[in-house]
Amino acid sequence: MNGHRSNWLLISLLAAAVAVAAPLKAAPGSNDSQVTFHFAGYADATFTDTQGEAGSLGEVTFAPIFHIQVGERFLFEAEAEFEADDRGGKAAGLEYATASWLLNDSSALVVGKFLSPVGYFFQNLHPSWINKLASVPAGFGHGGAAPLTDVGVQLRGGHAFSGGHRLNYALYFANGPRLGLEGMEGLDLDVEGSSTNRDGERVWGGRVGWMPSPRLELGASLTRGDVVLDPGEMGAGMAEPARTYNVEGLDVAWQASLAVTLRGEWIRQRVGDAAMSVAPEGGTWRAWYAQGAYRFGADRWETVLRVGDSQSPHSESTFQQTALGLNYLIRPGTQLKLSWERNDSDSAEADADRVLLQLAHGF
């Protein structure tokens, strides 16, 4: 959301949700079992020392999450995000807001703005108190290769088979990304969900995860559809052709023991060529990472190693990364993370190494 008016609107809506939901549960004589309100979320503060720059308390984030369950079948959920940077800038946004209809014990129909079901990291690991390093993997943040959010409808669920095997799935139909131009570097893919779709094109896809054992999950993601260069990028009267939009992804997570966790992910977004476009050449965004974490027995200390690579049409998003972390678990849901990143790129903007110290708390 942009501008003070949008920020105050978001705050007002969240305040109204709290004011309305709380009395519903506590009102005398009401049926308390019909409406349940739950407040959760996370917060963090990060000190960043980037090579060649002065160290600063770079970001402070507060992300409240609201859940309202009505009866046994309907769940409303929303996450807001408030940030402050090292220059005093402020930002507020609606990360997601959904309404879910619980069809049965193993499936739900979800509508609204939701975390993209394509890929694994962003929909499951991105909150700072869950992520084991103080930064996201290369290519898995804003402007990267992984879709972040979308607006539409999805069907989520799972099924247990005999022998302990389990299958989970998420299928969706949504507005898809917005395609724009970034100066002379070609196409720019905005992978955050938008409630508008001026080109009339939609995308469909999802992710399927297979768990042959409780400690191992193998996942595959796929999206197909069309995108059109944002009409706002062209002069009046100019029409843009549709071009293909494809996403493929693979992920794996293995809890090797109580002390060792291994995971990895590969994802690719591709936008096709369009000969009659003002920007005829398409683009590919691709990223992968592999991560291992070791917990010192029953101790509160943990070490993390992550290697990854991001490829993009834009030089500032093309780099290789090695990250090493040392974490201290203060209490369940609260940890202090010291992370060191080595970044290698032809772009000076992406080539700087970093040290990050982060205090993260989930509630």
Identity of the amino acid at 88 = G
Per-residue pLDDT, averaged over 227-254, amounts to 80
CATH at residue 164: 2.40.160.10
Q: What is the sign, positive or negative, of the torsion defined by CA atoms of 182, 186, 192, 197?
A: positive
* β-pair partners for 340: 324, 355
Lowest mean pLDDT among 47-56, 145-154, 158-167, 258-267: 47-56
What is the percent of the chain where pLDDT is above 90?
61
* 107 found inside a domain: no
Taking CA atoms, 197 is separated from 99, 152, 176, in Å, by 20, 11, 8
pLDDT in tens, 99-132: 999 999 999 999 999 999 999 999 999 999 999 9
By residue range, what is the domain housing residue 199? 134-141+160-362
How many structural domains are present in the chain? 1
* 116 found inside a domain: no
Please report which confidence band the pLDDT of residue 26 belongs to, taking 50, 70 and 90 as the band edges.
Answer: very low
What's the whole-model pTM score? 0.84
pLDDT in tens, 255-302: 999 899 999 999 999 999 988 888 888 999 999 999 999 998 778 999
pLDDT reading at 225 higher than 50: yes
* 29 found inside a domain: no
* 181 found inside a domain: yes
* 209 found inside a domain: yes
Taking CA atoms, 212 is separated from 166, 168, 218, in Å, by 7, 12, 8
Contact 345, 356 (CB under 8 A): no
* 59 found inside a domain: no
Contact 44, 61 (CB under 8 A): yes
